[in-house]
Amino acid sequence: MTHIEVGDDTGRWPAATRPGAAAAATEADRPSRPRAWVVLTVTLLLALLLLPLVPLVLASLADAYFYPQVLPERWSSRAWQVVLDPGSGTWAALRDTVTIGVSVAVLSLVVAVPAGRVLGTRRFRGRRAVELLLLLPVLVPAVAVAIGLHVVFLRLGLAGGIPGVVLVHLVPATPYVVLLSAGVFANAELALEEQARALGASAWQAQRHVTLRLVAPGLAVAALFGFLVSWGQYVLTLVVGGGRVVTLPILLFSTASGGDASITAATALFHALPALVLLVVVSRVLGTGAFASVGGMR
């Protein structure tokens, strides 16, 4: 953390020739070498964001972890044994949560990408109304529509099973994926145009290849969001699944209602961990830049 080199624009503007270099204040705040306080503040911020997970980890590894113990007096693997036990239902819940999450991610791409492409690249009348309508499921509280959704799904014969739960998760996931992919296409199309012009706008097939390559990372992030929306869903799963579909959030809620802090903490971490790993892997593979598409959300 002592010496941090930045390569972004120091080379482009040699200090002496850079316009405005006369102003000392301007010179001082160039982003080339972050000052100690920036590094310190960022470190502190990250520590604050990760701090709440510490007591969860401690509680999951403790037995009779009561006030005022900071570190557990009695360490114990009991909670993890219970949670990881093949008969405890955790693994079945993990399997169902992953199945549902992956289905939601894939189907939301299928449903939402055409709309995202149109919204990201074309101007047409009624666009604003469409955007608002598509945004509504994100905005309107799940509690407010859960009961209505239950009835609609019962009528469609889709309540009480995984297909119904996938479909109901698509309702909040689709808007995110539409908006994210709209941003992706809006950005990609610009680059595409530039390239097409430079290359003399040759084959349509080639353009498609270029476009696909350009949008793939962004769409992967959009699919990740769809997956995560499904991963954390409680109310909609409860209502449409009718209890028969036991995902990790359902398991976590029923566990938390019992007040066994160690098992609740272990279940919570078991639920959070796959999502965390996925996020890190995706951002490593695609680079943090892929998340730039989130900025297209407007």
Partner 1 sequence: MSGRHPAPVRPRWRTREHIRTWAALAPSLLLVGVLFGGAVVQTILRSAGLLGTGAGGTFSLAAYRTLLTDPVVGRSLVLTAAVAVIATAVSVVLGIAAALLLHRLGRGRKLATTLFQLNLPIPHVIGAVAILALLGQSGLLSRIGAQTGVVDGPAAFPAITFDPWAIGVIVQYVWKEVPFIGIVALAILAARGDELDDAARTLGATRWQRLRHVTLPLLLPGVLSAAVIVFAFTFGAFEVPLLLGPTSPTLLPVLAHRRYIDTDLAARPEAMAISVVLTVVVIAVVLISAAVARRSIRSEAA
Partner 2 sequence: MRSVTNVVVLLAAALVVAAGCADTGDQASAPLPDPADWDAVLSEADGTTVDLHMWGGSTEINRFVDEVYGPRLEELGITLRRVPLADTADAINAVLGELEAGRTTDGSVDLIWINGENHATMRQAEALHTGWSESLPNAALVDWDDPAVAFDAGIAVDGAESPWGSAQFQFVYDSTRTDPDDLPRSYAELAEWIEANPGRFTYPALPAFHGTRFLTQWLFELSGGAERWTDGFDEEAYLAASEELFALLERLRPFLWREGETYPTDIADLDRLFANGEVDLTFTQLPAGIGANVDAGTLPSTARPFVFDTGTIGDHHYLAIPVNAGDAGAAMVLANLALEPDLQLAKLDPAGGWGDGLAIDVTRLSASERSAAEEVTQGLGELAVPSEELAAVRLPDAPAALTDALDRDWQRVIQDRQPRS
For 10-49, give one letter per residue: b (16+ CB within 10 A) or e. Answer: eeeeeeeeeeeeeeeeeeeeeeeeeeeeeeeeeeeeeeee
DSSP SS3 for 63: strand
Least distance from C-beta 275 to partner 1, angstroms?
4
Q: Which of 171, 236, 263, 265 binds partner 2 (CB under 8 A)?
A: 263
Q: Does 68 sit near partner 1 (CB under 8 A)?
A: yes
Of the candidates 255, 239, 295, 236, the residue with the CA atom closest to the CA atom of residue 83: 255
In whole angstroms, give the CA distance from residue 230 to residue 238: 13
Q: Which of partner 2, partner 1, none does residue 250 bind (CB under 5 to 8 Å by kind)?
A: partner 2
Q: Does 253 sit near partner 2 (CB under 8 A)?
A: yes
What binding mask, one character per residue, do residues 273-292 give for partner 1 by CB under 8 A, x or -?
--xx-xxx--xx---xx-xx
Residues in contact with partner 1, counted by CB under 8 A, come to a total of 114
In whole angstroms, give the CA distance from residue 184 to residue 181: 5
Q: Which of 181, 211, 233, 255 binds partner 2 (CB under 8 A)?
A: 255
Q: Does 298 sit near partner 1 (CB under 8 A)?
A: yes
Sign of the alpha-carbon dihedral angle for 229, 234, 239, 241: positive
Contact 126, 191 (CB under 8 A): no
Least distance from C-beta 132 to partner 2, angstroms?
9
Cα 51 from chain centre: 20
Q: Which of partner 1, partner 2, none does residue 197 bind (CB under 5 to 8 Å by kind)?
A: none
Give 63's strand partners.
Answer: 74
The interface region with partner 1, picked from 37-45, 73-81, 82-90, 209-217 by CB under 8 A, is 37-45
Q: Which residues bind partner 2 (CB under 8 A)?
A: 62-68, 76, 78, 82, 87-89, 124-127, 129-130, 133, 147-148, 150-152, 154-155, 159-160, 238-239, 242-244, 246, 250-251, 253-263
